[in-house]
């Protein structure tokens, strides 16, 4: 039910994201989704990759501060109001959305970090919203 996301702390300076991208691509790891939040001094890169365990090891070996977090990947229909419907379900279930970002893949459309993952997953399943699992990591082999 959960997927693994990497959170990588980066100094806010030129080339730092390139170093992450290069480190992963040199090892054949595909970046499937990402979002970046920044301050004047550092950035937080959240990403879903094709092999999270291997990627975490590579990044740590190269001196990056990184950690792995379990998040939910959600399949939504691509139509007006679906995000509102999802957020309403979670709100009614008393679940706080800590952050979310878009994944534009066949396996999922959103990555969510929520306050109560089990409660969120149950509410979404009851409402007919499909969760993605580890198939998301294999997207680099889908056509």
Task: Give the pLDDT score at 21.
Answer: 96
Encode pLDDT of 47-102 as tens digits.
999 999 999 999 999 999 999 999 999 998 888 999 999 999 999 999 999 999 98
Q: Residue 18: which H helix or E strand, with range?
A: helix 16-25
Name the residue among 119, 118, 121, 100 with its Cα closest to residue 109: 100
Whole-model pTM: value is 0.84
22 to 16, 54, 66, 133: CA distances (angstroms): 10, 14, 16, 26
Task: Give the pLDDT score at 135.
Answer: 84
Which of these CATH numbers, 3.40.50.10860, 3.40.50.300, 3.30.70.20, 3.30.2130.10, describes 71-138? 3.30.2130.10
Which of these CATH numbers, 3.30.2130.10, 3.40.640.10, 3.90.79.10, 4.10.320.10, describes 2-70? 3.30.2130.10
Task: Give the pLDDT score at 81.
Answer: 93
Report how far residue 116's alpha carbon sits from residue 139's, in angstroms, rounded to the nearest whole number: 27
29 to 2, 36, 45, 93: CA distances (angstroms): 19, 19, 16, 36
Give the chain's mean pLDDT: 90
């Amino acid at each position: 039910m959960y997927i693994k996301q990497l959170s990588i702390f980066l100094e806010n300076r030129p080339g730092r994201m390139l170093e992450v991208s290069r480190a992963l691509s040199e090892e054949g790891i595909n970046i499937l989704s990402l979002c970046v939040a920044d301050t004047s001094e550092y950035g937080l890169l959240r990403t879903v990759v094709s092999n999270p365990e291997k990627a975490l090891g590579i990044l740590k070996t190269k001196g990056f501060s990184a950690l792995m977090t379990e998040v939910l990947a959600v399949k939504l229909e691509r139509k007006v109001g679906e995000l509102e419907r999802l957020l309403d379900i979670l709100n009614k279930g008393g679940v706080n959305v800590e952050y979310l970002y878009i994944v534009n893949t066949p396996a999922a459309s959103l990555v969510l970090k929520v306050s109560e993952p089990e409660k969120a997953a149950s509410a979404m399943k009851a409402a007919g919203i499909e969760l993605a699992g580890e198939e998301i990591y294999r997207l680099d082999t889908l056509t």
